[in-house]
Amino acid sequence: MPLLLAGCSGSSGSAGAKSSQPDSPAVGSGASTSPSAPAATTGVASASATTSAPSSPKAVAKAVHIRLLNSDGATYGVGMPIVAYFSSKITDGKAFAAATVVKVNGVVNHGSWYFESSSINRGYPIEAHYRPAPAAGAANQFWPAHAAITMAMQTQGKSAGAGLVFDDSLTLSMATADAHISYVNCATERMTVKSNGVAVRAPMLTSCGAPVTPTANGIKVVQQLGEDAPGSDTLRPSGAVRMVGGGGLLGNYDLIVPWSVRLTNGGEFVHAAAWNGRNIGARSTSDGCTNLNTPDAKWFYKFSRIGDVVIYTNTGGPAMKPYDGFGEWNLPTSSFNNSPTAA
């Protein structure tokens, strides 16, 4: 997953504003202890008191530490994956996957992991995302609403590949809220928002990415609501985010944009765009983001939580990339349980 960038562009990021969010997912809690070092190996004296030559000391495996994006005890939208970061470039994820048990409402879930390169946390070059297996008869592949989700990651001492060993075990307990799934059709410039399968508001008017800066097609997940004010742990007023960009129909810009909901690392947001009112509901003219009228954007910001799902169709743009946020929902099942060496 590349570094988060602020800038309204579906195909490329812009200047990087600080990435922060309310109820920000942090390092997961759980036991984390280091294995004791192996004892030195020496030869055993024979009956004739002749000392055998000492054997070569065993090479000590490099410790690999795991940290989690998800916060223990947090509640997310139904599209929030479990995300683990690794402190070294592991070469084998089989032992990691086998040592991890995920349960949904107390029942083991036989989902799968997807490995990709990472630049989110300094010193953690690989990350893995867990996507749940859908329940029998489920209409979609996301977590069920109002679910209790637990994970036991008994990885300490397990192999992470040749010369590598995991040095910690973790647990996680999180929950899901209502199933918020929104649908944006860029051909009609309409956004329909549903909660638990029921539309909760009349379709909202949109303006998606212009042909030269198109919005990506596919499933996206809310990553961030607003951002912290510079040098502060307090959010900017009105859910605002600083966006810097240029080259599209808007030319160069440096704006504080209210009611901004981030969907991708590359800079796609759903946000208020009072300056674009004449095009909202009529045509796609944005720099890649989804422009809404201010009352609709404010409502959507307050309605949303981290992990909510937004599905885009008819954008005229490329498919959502798996690494551009939580894009693994767009991958076929066959792409999961991949080798970390290919990440």
- Stated as kind and residue range, the H or E segment containing 221 is strand 218-221
| pLDDT number for residue 35 | 31
Mean predicted confidence (pLDDT) in 137-157: 92
Q: Which residues contact 299 (CB under 8 A, 6 or more apart)?
A: 201
In the predicted model, is pLDDT for residue 134 greater than 90? no
Would you say 197 and 132 are in contact if contact means Cβ atoms under 8 Å apart? Answer: no
| pLDDT number for residue 120 | 87
CA 13 to chain CA centroid, nearest Å: 17
By the 10 Å C-beta count (0-12 exposed, 13-18 middle, 19+ buried), 14 is classed as: buried
Q: Which residues contact 278 (CB under 8 A, 6 or more apart)?
A: none
Closest residue by Cα to residue 92 from 326, 334, 342? 342
In the predicted model, is pLDDT for residue 284 greater than 50? yes
By the 10 Å C-beta count (0-12 exposed, 13-18 middle, 19+ buried), 46 is classed as: exposed
Mean predicted confidence (pLDDT) in 165-190: 99
Mean predicted confidence (pLDDT) in 156-183: 98
In the predicted model, is pLDDT for residue 191 greater than 70? yes
| pLDDT number for residue 339 | 84
The label of the residue with tokens 């075990």 reads 169
pLDDT bucket at 337, cuts 50 / 70 / 90: confident
Would you say 259 and 295 are in contact if contact means Cβ atoms under 8 Å apart? Answer: no
In the predicted model, is pLDDT for residue 40 greater than 50? no
What is the Cα Rg of the chain in Å?
Answer: 23
Any bridge partners for residue 68, and if so which?
84
- The DSSP secondary-structure symbol of 228 reads B
Distance from C-alpha of 207 to C-alpha of 224, rounded to nearest angstrom: 21
Would you say 112 and 328 are in contact if contact means Cβ atoms under 8 Å apart? Answer: no
Lowest mean pLDDT among 19-33, 145-159, 174-188, 217-231: 19-33
Mean predicted confidence (pLDDT) in 293-315: 99
Average pLDDT along the chain: 86
Percentage of the residues of the chain whose pLDDT score is greater than 90: 73
Q: Which two tokens stand for residue 109?
A: 């879930």
Which parts of the chain fold into alpha helices (H)? 94-98, 294-303
pLDDT bucket at 8, cuts 50 / 70 / 90: confident
Lowest mean pLDDT among 39-43, 66-70, 263-267: 39-43
| pLDDT number for residue 71 | 98
Rounded alpha-carbon distances, angstroms, from residue 22 to 152, 235, 318, 338? 26, 8, 30, 32
| pLDDT number for residue 342 | 72
First to last CA, the chain: 10
In the predicted model, is pLDDT for residue 37 greater than 70? no
In the predicted model, is pLDDT for residue 18 greater than 80? no
| pLDDT number for residue 272 | 99
Up-side HSE of residue 169: CA atoms within 13 Å toward CB?
A: 15
Domains of the chain from N-terminus onward = 62-177+332-342 (2.60.40.3710), 180-330 (2.40.440.10)
| pLDDT number for residue 60 | 84
Rounded to two decimals, the pTM is: 0.84
